[in-house]
Structure formats: structure tokens, C-alpha cells
Amino acid sequence: MLLNPAIMALVLVSLVVCSMLLLASGFAIQVLRHWNIGSGSEQQLVLERRTYLISTLLIWAFGFELMSLLLFIYNAESMSGQFVGAMCATGVLNVNGWGWPTLMLKIAVFFCGAVWLALNYLDNQGYDYPLVKYKYRLLLAILPLVVAEFILQLLHFTNMDPDVITSCCGTLFSSQAEGVAAEVSGLPPRNMMLLFVITGVIVILSGLRVALRGRGSWWFALFGTAAFAVALTSIVSFISLYIYEHPHHHCPFCILKSGHDYIGYILYVPLFISAALAMSVGVLSSWRGIPSLTLTVDSIIPRLSWIAVMCYLLFYLAAVWSVWASNLTMVEVWL
């Protein structure tokens, strides 16, 4: 399986990202021990020059890591025809015990990386680099996740056995099955519809409040995270049913197929971007009190909030259209 071009690319990207973060972590330790912006020593000057290089490397590293999440899901979807019982990415992730943990870690690294990039950008705007130690502490916290992701992904790919009969999405995402996926599939669609609408309205209004008035950043981050969780649950609970026009097909991956016009990408991409931006807005707002960053924070937070709101609107419009344009009618049954 390692000879698959997409798998080779994923493994290579993870290896490169791991190497970059390990290199940067060594520098991070030096910064945490010796950084003193008020010092004119040679050591301080060397650290200041190297921080530009390390920051550039990390920008590329996290950029590659963010893209690898999409490639990982796309690759799992494209490999579904190679395993008996697999109808979509679900079957490929179920081939062994490493698939789902790898996906969860990639999602975690996606959000951590997005927050780090926002923090790094803000720090570079301050003449005294006031956040340099904070961002490198965050880097050291992210490193174990990246290393674990590389190891689990490698285990997932090297333990793929084409002769293994894997379980399809109909087995996993079924209200009659067991596990988290089954519990989400079995949630009352009517209740999830109501919660979906409520969280959508709240997160958009809170984002507009931040964008227009610059207030409530942490509330926006909190509501954005909650809306993200509700949105993913809603896709499994009822949105997917309308896309498939089938009352019992809850798979969150089959919507990525060409047969459904790749609607899954229109749902997932803006949803992930908006959630990452909402989290970043909350984190960045914490540093408004630092004199060298006040103006930057006041200017960047509204911009990020506007982009986040636009992405949320794109997601909710796509979700509503998927339900509205569907030939499936289930509201009467749920009521």
C-alpha cells in the first residue's frame, strides 16, 4: 500500500512536518531559556535572526499539515474500491484500528496549527515580539500530536490488508449499531434540526457583533466551537439523509463522491475554516492589552470575524439548500 502515490505523499508530508517541528522545538527550548528582548548580547541577536527562519519553516509546515487533512480524506475515499466491504472512506478507516485515531489527530493538529499561525502573525506585528515565548510553548505542546499523527498514520498504511473484509458505512452509521457513530445516527432529527438552526443563528450574530463592534470575541470562539460540533452531528443525523434521499443512510463521507456533486467539500471546507478562524479570534483577543499589539488586534479581529461569518454562511446555505432541494420528505414522519 505504501507504493500508492497519495499514501507516499501523505507519509512524506508527515515526515517533513515532523522533522521541521523537531528542529523548531530545539530552537523553541533555546528561546524559552535565553530570550531577552532587552538584551543586546550576541546570543539574543542570533535568536532574533533565527526566529524569522524558524517562523517561515513553521508556516510552511502547518500549511502542509492543513492540506494533508484534505488529502487524507480524499485518499481514503479513493481507496474504497480496493477493500472488500468498503463503500467509501468509512470502510478504509475501518480496515484496521489506526484509521480513525489518525483522522482525529489530523483534525486536532489542523485547529492547533491554525491557532499557532494566527498567534505567530500577531507576534510578528509587535516591535518587541511580546508573544514569542507563548507561541513556542504552544509549539512544544503541538509537537507530540504531530509525532503521534505520523506514527499512527504510518501504522494505518502499513497494516492495510486488502484481504480483510471491512465494515461499510451502513453498518457503522446505523441506529441499530453500537458506538458513538450509531448514537449520533440515532439522534432525533427534529431536535437536531432545531439545535442546528439555533446554533447557526447564534454563531453568525456573535460573529457579526465582533466584526462590527469588536466585542464578544471569546463568546464567538465558544459559539463557533459549539456550532462546529453541532454541524458535524447534524450532517450525520439529518443533512446526509436529504443529500442521499434515503431515510437510513447517515454516512458523512459518501457526500464527498461525484455522484452527490462533491457537496461534502462545499460543506466541510468552509465549516472547518470558519471554526478555526473563530477559535483564532478568541485567542488573539486575549492580547489586546499589550501596547505593541493593541492596534493590530483591533484591526485583525474584525477581518478574521468577517471571513469566518462568510464561511459559516456558505456552510449553512449549502446545508439548507441540500435539505430544500432534496426529493426526500421526512418532516411529517419526525413530527
Residue 179: which residues within 8 A CB-CB, separation 6 or more?
Answer: 172
Q: Work out the average pLDDT over 150-158.
A: 92
With pLDDT > 90 as the criterion, what percentage of the chain qualifies?
42
Q: Are 94 and 239 members of one domain?
A: no
Q: Are 270 and 155 members of one domain?
A: no
Q: Are 116 and 25 members of one domain?
A: yes
Q: Where residue 170 falls among pLDDT bands split at 50, 70, 90?
A: low
Grid cell listed for 174:
446505523
- Which tens digits make up the pLDDT trace of 276-316? 999 999 999 989 888 888 898 999 999 999 999 999 999 99
Q: What pLDDT score does 334 carry?
A: 46
Q: Are 210 and 196 members of one domain?
A: yes
Can you spell out the DSSP letters for 42-72?
HHHHHHHHHHHHHHHHHHHHHHHHHHHHHHH
Q: Where residue 335 falls among pLDDT bands split at 50, 70, 90?
A: very low
Mean per-residue pLDDT over the chain, rounded = 86
Q: Are 236 and 125 members of one domain?
A: no
Q: What pLDDT score does 171 carry?
A: 66
- Which tens digits make up the pLDDT trace of 49-65? 888 888 888 889 888 88
pTM tops 0.95, yes or no:
no
- Which tens digits make up the pLDDT trace of 28-41? 998 888 888 777 77
- Which tens digits make up the pLDDT trace of 208-243? 999 998 889 999 999 999 999 999 999 988 898 899
pLDDT at 47 over 50: yes
Nearest residue to 76 (alpha-carbon basis) of 94, 91, 89: 89
Chain centroid to Cα 188, Å, comes to 26
The more confident residue out of 334 and 138 is 138
The more confident residue out of 259 and 322 is 322
Q: Are 308 and 328 members of one domain?
A: yes
Q: Are 305 and 332 members of one domain?
A: yes
Q: Are 157 and 173 members of one domain?
A: no
Q: Are 157 and 184 members of one domain?
A: no
Q: Are 31 and 178 members of one domain?
A: no
Q: Are 99 and 180 members of one domain?
A: no
Q: Are 159 and 172 members of one domain?
A: no
Q: Which of 163, 181, 206 is the last residue of a domain?
A: 163
Nearest residue to 223 (alpha-carbon basis) of 243, 242, 206, 248: 206
Query: In terms of residue numbers, what domain contains 335?
Result: 168-335
Q: Which of 132, 147, 163 is the last residue of a domain?
A: 163
Domain count, the chain: 2
Instruction: With beta carbons less than 8 A apart as the criterion, state whether 199 and 230 touch.
Output: yes
Q: Which of 138, 163, 188 is the last residue of a domain?
A: 163
